[in-house]
Chain A
Amino acid sequence: MSRVVVVGGGPAGMAAAEAAASRGVEVVLIDAAPKLGGQYHRQDGLSSEDRLAPSAAHADRRWTSPENVEHVPDASAWAVEAVDGGHRVHVRVGLADDPSREGRVFATRALVLATGAYDRALPFPGWDLPGVFTAGAAQALAKGQGVAVGDRVVVGGTGPFLLPVASSLVGVGARVVEVAEANAAVTGWLSRPTGAMAGWSKAGELARYAGVLARHGVPYRSRTAVLAAHGAESVESVTVARLDRDWSPVPGTERRVEADAVAVGFGFTPQLELALAARCRLEDGFVAVDAAQGTSVDGVFAAGELTGIGGADLAAAEGAVAGFAAAKRLGAVVEAPLRAMSRVRAGRRFARALAAAYPVRSGWQDWLRDDTVVCRCEEVAKRALYRAVDERDVGAAGPLKLVSGAGLGLCQGRICGRNAAELAGLDDPAAFAKRPIAVPLRLSELAEESRAEAPVDAEAAARPFGIDR
């Protein structure tokens, strides 16, 4: 079909849709949320007003969907399938618990994947207690519903993302008792004149968050982590300790801190299901792309956190480049988007610096006791993973799952997969990421006949703009 299909309505997907639409091409923008914006621009689900821009660079204007963009909200893309001349995206439209949600299929010669990333939590004793949240969930509740996850919250993990999370918690009235950064302090990194930050518009934003925390007297501690959460029914306190360079706790530095909630975020894991189903090549766990955001698969582009973690500005710039490239593939006249491409290059420099400054170090494995649960769905403890390797010589993700049970539950390893793989010594960060059915659906939904859909039109490229009007 002669339209661009974009999956994901965060900064990258919105920018891709806008860019392709600006070249006169029809666009379908598929997003799982009721409103556009993704996690970065999480919107109040109850508000009737759309009030966002695809990136901070355009924060001063509202984003309205161009008329040649069909926005499909509440849409779960559950499969991508290669067909002659392009790809088919299989979608269920409606809320997940709605038995009457509708099946739709979108065929396209130009598919833009902008499915984003979810935040990574590392396990520690007590992390399965009520009151422990991922940093992203805590932020989403604060931004989306104005709800604080607790009265006294400890924020822990690594990377600049902890600052906006803590700041939004403060914003909804929580007392952030402490921010524990496992690597070096973000503030030091921000002020370092390395060039990594040059031209990066988010530096000022982060400084503002840091200012908010300082005003509220929130202690920010580097080389520090939450090692355990304690409580009978839910979190009552946490143990915090200093870490050495490899993240092994420094003996004697443990402190008990009273708290009723913990928000932890250790970087992000890209949401690779659809990219893997389309068989895009990965590099270091992210989708490999060329200068036009093209993946290794013809007609499939990727933008945003799928290609590397670099924040909303980089995502939006990549989205714009991908959108233009996708429109061009359909025959639209497109000049090279030099400004967006230069924003991508600057953003990537920043992303590389970010990845180097905020890695996850192997010492986290020492925080776990033998009986600490790693996979919550199937209640698989660290011990079971070690035994799978030591006793059964498990050497790949498939056997690891089947021997230990990790990753076989409802979340299909989204939460535990990377952690289980690291504990088992598998060095592929995407070992658990292959999920041909990208989101669960009911057997009856799967059984439904795909609604008839015109085949991918191979001739469309020959027509000017490739548009049917």
Chain B
Amino acid sequence: MVTTGAISAREQSHGLLRHMLRIRRFEEKSAELYSAGKIRGFLHLYIGEEAVAAGAIPLLGADDAIVSTYREHGHALVRGMSAGTIMAEMYGKANGCSRGRGGSMHLFDAALRFYGGNAIVAGGLPVAVGLALADQMQGHPRVTACLFGDGAVDEGEFHESLNLSALWKLPVVFLCENNLYAMGTALERHEAQTQIYAKADAYGMASAIVDGMDVLAVHQAMQVAVDHIRAGKGPYLLEARTYRFRAHSMYDAELYRSQDEVNEWKHRDPITLFTTKLQQESLLTDAELAEMEAQIAAEVAAAVAIAEAGPWEPVEDLLKDVYTCPA
């Protein structure tokens, strides 16, 4: 485990577990509210993939940036966006993080340097390259983390962005959340080379692969990636092998994978694995876990209350913010 300063292994492991549990309970509530008709549109749940966000994102500092995808509730939560502002956004309320203009797929937070919430697969990679370029040109010692799925690797922008960032030695970590499916198309049916991290070689870029169901492994691998970048060695591609337990969006017939396969992966539930490990190592008591769950349940309930109570954006403001300065 990577420990820093006075933070004990116990405290740090509780932090990682708390992140994962917050995401899990938040997503479970989101699914429930979707079924209740409170949340509409597309809703892409992160259940099963929690170890990636929980392990990787805490290694970013306040000045660092994140560019994310449409499956980003977990990223936003770990980054520090409040559950209430995210839930309100999914309700479409004016107190949502994007004032109800974005919804589930478009969470933004300027103060946290959280640049969305991009629902075009691979669309965020060039933007992350540009953010890193701006930092490099201005002498900011920052890292930009760009999260995307395995489907993005099919797109030209993945290759263009790896090439450009390696060419210019930009401080960006490309974190591929490889959940083995591009929507419903299995990895081996959409990639000729299924070892995604290996593609970095073609661009002279450092890379690694990590078990995305193991939060500690992700944490350590991300530490290596971030250290590499902070040492001025250029960009880094980290592939985390993970799995989504739920449908691509809220509902799909899941014709593309077997229930056996899903069950097999559920045996490797990142939260169960980590909880068991901590209990075996006497780093977590039942009482601590129960308290954590209770706190998270209260947080999620409060988030729902915030969303329920939130106002609707007045229709008169429909055209607001299309431009900063309307001509």
Q: Do A and B come from one complex?
A: no
Q: Residues of A at under 8 Å CB distance from B?
A: none
Interface residues of B, Cβ cutoff 8 Å to A: none
